[in-house]
Amino acid sequence: MFVRNAWYVAAWDHEIGRDMLRRVILDEPVVFYRRDDGKPVALEDRCCHRQAPLSMGKLIGNVVQCPYHGLQFDPTGACVKVPSQDRIPASARVRAYPVVERNHWIWIWMGEPAKADPALIEDFHWMDDPNWGFGGSYLHVEANYLLLVENLLDTTHLPFLHPTSLGTGAFAKSEFEVTREGDRIKVARWLMDNPPAPFHKQMGGFADGMNVDRWQIAQFGPPSFVKLDVGSAPAGAGARQGDRSQGMNMWNLNAITPETGKTAHYFYAQAYNFKLGERWISDLVRSQVTQAFLEDMAMIKAQQQNLDLGASPVVNLGQDKAWIAMRQIVQRLVAEEQGQRVAA
């Protein structure tokens, strides 16, 4: 169940260079490389002759040479050389995908090329903003991508999966409100006048015994983006009224790209706007957030394994409002696309 007419993150900018990179996206093999001028290219990683992966071949200038029979394809996907004959069949080509480089990520459009408007790319400007630092990475997810979106929208799991970093005993019962505007969902959680989570205490430099007001505001954008506005400030300092100047504020940025129906690519970053000149902050952010996400990955993989064994009755709770709405949105978008293809 994939939304195809959407921009997805395919890679970090530093992953794409003159060495070809293969990545499966929405059940389609794609090969990435940069042209001589540095512009990223994405082609179907499957030669139109005998399905050989082009990523196993050779990059000659801006042209990819198939490793099996030597056919060559330019950045538009057109075959420009067949070593065994002079005539190039008109149908000899592979698919070329629209790509855009933005906010340190390489974005790809897997749907109808005519609809690939760069203005539709999800906003992750924090990673290019000089007033913010960030640390980020990539994880391979051994589960359906929507399980990870669910995980990010329902953070009542923090005390149980992440007790030594992000969780505190009271967070599962934190105040929360779910709101929706069109196909965008917001889950606002506040935990007032409580001890800070270990990671927040370390990042914010809060004194022993100090209580804080903590916020965790998740924002979902289809098909699979979640941005979390997170932070803590001394209790009563006015953070809930909009004054966060006495606390620490971060944005947890998440782009989840389906690989197959049971695997996904997870691109994430943690942006922060304090102590920007101190390198240890970005190192700590990267290590702490990655460790927490590895804990999430272990649980999500285990969920997928149980799901693969067959359906079983489930019980939904009040905390599930956001992800239930999220799944309804994705299902509707998929159905609309399928209906349009049938009509066409």
260-263-267 Cα angle (round to 5): 110
- Give the CA distances from residue 80 to residues 43, 89, 249, in Å, rounded to whole numbers and listed in that order: 14, 10, 52
Give the pLDDT score at 14: 97
Reported CATH class of domain 131-335: alpha beta
Give the pLDDT score at 10: 98
Task: Encode burial over 4-30: b for 16+ CB neighbours within 10 A, e otherwise.
Answer: bbbbbbbbeeeebeeebbebebbebbb
Q: Which residues pair with 33 in a beta bridge?
A: 41
- Give the CA distances from residue 233 to residues 36, 101, 319, in Å, rounded to whole numbers and listed in that order: 49, 35, 25
Query: What share of the chain has pLDDT > 70, as a percent?
Result: 99
Question: Is residue 133 very low, low, confident or very high in pLDDT (cuts 50, 70, 90)?
Answer: confident
- SS3 (DSSP) at 199: helix
Q: Which two tokens stand for residue 115?
A: 């609809």
Contact between 154 and 228 (Cβ < 8 Å): no
Residue 267 has pLDDT above 80, yes or no: yes
Question: Is residue 311 very low, low, confident or very high in pLDDT (cuts 50, 70, 90)?
Answer: confident
Q: What is the pLDDT of residues 96-130, one digit of tens each?
A: 999 999 999 999 999 999 999 999 999 999 999 99
Residue 182 has pLDDT above 90, yes or no: yes
Give the pLDDT score at 286: 73
Give me the mean pLDDT over the 307-333 stretch.
Answer: 92
The domain made up of 7-120 is a member of CATH 2.60.40.10 = no
Question: Which residues, 6 or more positions from 70, have their beta carbon under 8 angstroms from its beta carbon?
Answer: 81, 82, 83, 84
Q: Which residues pair with 185 in a beta bridge?
A: 180, 220
For residue 224, how far is the Cα from the chain centroid?
Answer: 7
Query: Closest Cα to residue 250, out of 313, 208, 212, 199?
Result: 199
Give the pLDDT score at 93: 98
Residue 344 has pLDDT above 70, yes or no: no
- Read off the DSSP letter of residue 154: -
Residue 277 has pLDDT above 80, yes or no: no
Give the pLDDT score at 203: 81
Residue 284 has pLDDT above 80, yes or no: no
Domain range list for the chain: 7-120, 131-335
Q: Which residues pair with 24 in a beta bridge?
A: 29
In the chain, how long is the greatest CA-to-CA distance?
Answer: 79
Other C-beta atoms within 10 Å of 335: how many? 11
Query: Closest Cα to residue 144, out of 317, 307, 23, 290?
Result: 307
Q: What is the pLDDT of residues 3-18, one digit of tens each?
A: 999 999 999 999 999 9
Give me the mean pLDDT over the 313-340 stretch.
Answer: 91
- Single pTM value for the model: 0.94
Q: What is the pLDDT of residues 139-167, one digit of tens each?
A: 999 999 999 999 999 888 888 888 777 87
